């Protein structure tokens, strides 16, 4: 049974220029245009039948929704698809869409317990942010401070309506349309950052599954280490583990990508459109996340806490100080090497039982930690 879309508010939500991009990308040709009023588009099918759409270009027209409904009915006849399917594509013409699906989640109506649903949304956000960080520069772990470009992207991404089918979350990633240059030649420039994020996410997910399979066979995390340049990180691994664990049960996870019609992928782009991460891969993925977090240097790490040990050889230009600080919310003894002036301040802080702070690169060395290149060393008198 065909369902016609007649709701005026739904039809009014369509954006004329995005519909124009959709028509152009699906083989329609513009026959005429009256600026700010209407454009006429023509399509000829394989049987030679010709179709016409008079597309309104302004929401100010009283019959805007009615004309959009006419266009939708014409597209239904041309594409032999339901109006609801076409409407969904029209609303995201200028966006990549990521669909995240929990396979075999219970109950069968596609719902989730409230706590599980909140966790699923949060982890999906962390997954997209991990991909944005990797698109900015691949690393094994991104601690609390994320790249500015990645945070700006996250503010642009949107949540779509959930869809039926176990539990399906849609993430909408707006992307600028591809436009040709002079004489119709394409620009020889890189993809915009928004497209690089979705491409990175797709390649990173595929690499994660391959790495998990290799780790299960070899008993080694080397496959995950080699996948870091493809976007695999502790943050991405943590997000996948968190999304699949619902009410104490681990589910398979399916991620599908629909690419913006106004910016289609170039033919040579070898990017998967669907990736399934099985539940039995999660133990390997979880262990990879733990390994990355514990072994990756952390830049701009703030060490803060009391001085618990002082070491300095007689006449040495530097001294070693041990501070009881926090690493991943756990108390840890962290060593730093300080020059004469800062070491003297550390001695005074130790004698007065005052806390100190500094910034540097946190490095794990076996079971201990060290902050290299310390700077901005301060004694905190009132802590």
Give yes or no for a contact between 19 and 262, defined as CB atoms under 8 angstroms apart: no
Top-confidence residue, 111 or 66: 66
Mean pLDDT computed over 297-325: 93
- The two tokens of residue 277 are 């991460």
* Whole-angstrom distance, CA of residue 369 vs CA of residue 324: 11
Q: H-type helices in 2-160, by residue range?
A: 8-12, 16-25, 64-79, 83-91, 114-136, 148-156
- The two tokens of residue 314 are 């007689």
CATH class of the domain whose range is 298-380:
mainly beta
* Whole-angstrom distance, CA of residue 143 vs CA of residue 151: 13
Q: What percent of the chain has pLDDT over 90?
A: 68
What pLDDT is recorded for position 249?
78
Mean pLDDT computed over 91-106: 86
What pLDDT is recorded for position 116?
86
Residues 6 or more apart whose CB falls under 8 angstroms from that of 316 comprise none
Top-confidence residue, 245 or 318: 318
What pLDDT is recorded for position 129?
97
The region of weakest confidence among 15-19, 146-150, 363-367 is 363-367
Residue with tokens 């600026």: 35
| 361 CA to centre of own chain | 26
DSSP tag of 186: B
State yes or no: pLDDT of 372 exceeds 90. yes
Q: What are phi and psi of 331, to 5 degrees?
A: -70, 130
Which own/partner contact pairs does 108-113 have at CB distance under 8 Å and 24+ positions apart?
110/162, 110/163, 110/164, 110/165, 110/166, 110/167, 110/168, 111/167, 112/167, 112/246, 113/246, 113/247
* Whole-angstrom distance, CA of residue 53 vs CA of residue 69: 11
State yes or no: pLDDT of 383 exceeds 60. no
What pLDDT is recorded for position 268?
60
Top-confidence residue, 266 or 9: 9
Which pLDDT band holds residue 224 (cuts at 50, 70, 90)? very high
What pLDDT is recorded for position 109?
65
Give yes or no for a contact between 70 and 64, defined as CB atoms under 8 angstroms apart: no
Bridge partners (DSSP) listed for residue 52: 42
Which pLDDT band holds residue 328 (cuts at 50, 70, 90)? confident
Residue 268: CB atoms within 10 Å: 5
State yes or no: pLDDT of 184 exceeds 70. no
* Whole-angstrom distance, CA of residue 334 vs CA of residue 293: 16
Mean pLDDT computed over 316-342: 93
State yes or no: pLDDT of 76 exceeds 70. yes
End-to-end CA distance of the chain: 70
Residues 6 or more apart whose CB falls under 8 angstroms from that of 133 comprise 139, 142, 146, 147, 150, 233, 235
Q: What percent of the chain has pLDDT over 70?
A: 93
State yes or no: pLDDT of 128 exceeds 90. yes
Give yes or no for a contact between 362 and 337, defined as CB atoms under 8 angstroms apart: no
To the nearest 10 degrees (0 to 180), the angle between helices 114-136 and 148-156 is 130
The region of weakest confidence among 77-86, 153-162, 181-190, 359-368 is 181-190
* Whole-angstrom distance, CA of residue 382 vs CA of residue 249: 47
Bridge partners (DSSP) listed for residue 257: 98
What pLDDT is recorded for position 232?
97
Domain ranges of the chain: 8-91, 95-176+190-295, 298-380
What pLDDT is recorded for position 365?
86
Q: What are phi and psi of 264, to 5 degrees?
A: -65, 155
* Whole-angstrom distance, CA of residue 97 vs CA of residue 223: 29
């Amino acid at each position: 049974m065909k369902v016609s879309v007649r709701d005026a508010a739904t039809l009014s939500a369509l954006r004329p220029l995005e519909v124009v991009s959709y028509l152009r990308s699906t083989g329609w040709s513009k026959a005429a245009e009256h600026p700010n009023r209407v454009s006429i588009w023509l399509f000829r099918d394989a049987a030679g039948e010709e179709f016409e759409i008079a597309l309104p270009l302004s929401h100010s027209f009283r019959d805007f929704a009615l004309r959009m409904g006419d266009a939708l009915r014409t597209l239904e006849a041309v594409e032999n698809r339901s109006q609801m399917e076409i409407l969904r594509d029209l609303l995201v013409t200028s966006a990549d869409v990521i669909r995240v699906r929990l396979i075999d989640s219970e109950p069968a109506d596609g719902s989730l317990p409230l706590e599980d649903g909140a966790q699923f949304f949060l982890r999906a956000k962390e997954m997209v942010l991990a991909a944005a960080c990797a698109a900015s520069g691949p690393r094994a772990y991104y601690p609390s401070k994320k790249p500015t470009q990645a945070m700006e992207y996250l503010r642009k991404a949107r949540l779509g309506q959930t869809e039926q089918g176990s539990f399906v979350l849609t993430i909408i990633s707006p992307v600028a349309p591809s436009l040709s240059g002079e004489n119709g030649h394409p620009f020889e420039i890189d993809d915009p950052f928004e497209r690089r994020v979705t491409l990175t996410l797709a390649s990173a997910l595929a690499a994660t599954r391959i790495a998990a399979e290799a780790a299960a066979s070899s008993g080694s995390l080397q496959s995950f280490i080699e996948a870091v340049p493809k976007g695999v990180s502790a943050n991405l691994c943590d997000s996948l583990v968190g999304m699949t664990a619902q009410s104490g049960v681990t589910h398979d996870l399916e991620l599908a990508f629909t690419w913006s019609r106004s910016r289609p992928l170039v033919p040579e782009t070898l990017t998967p459109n669907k990736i399934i991460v099985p539940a039995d891969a999660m133990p390997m993925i979880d262990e990879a996340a733990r390994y990355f977090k514990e072994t990756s240097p952390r830049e701009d790490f703030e060490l803060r806490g009391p001085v618990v040990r002082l070491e300095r050889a007689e006449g040495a230009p530097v001294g070693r100080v041990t501070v009881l600080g926090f690493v991943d919310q756990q108390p840890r003894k962290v060593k730093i090497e300080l020059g004469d002036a800062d070491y003297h301040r550390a001695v005074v802080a130790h004698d007065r039982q005052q806390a100190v702070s500094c910034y540097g690169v946190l490095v794990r060395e076996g079971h201990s930690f060290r902050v290299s290149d310390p700077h901005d060393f301060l004694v905190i008198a009132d802590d």
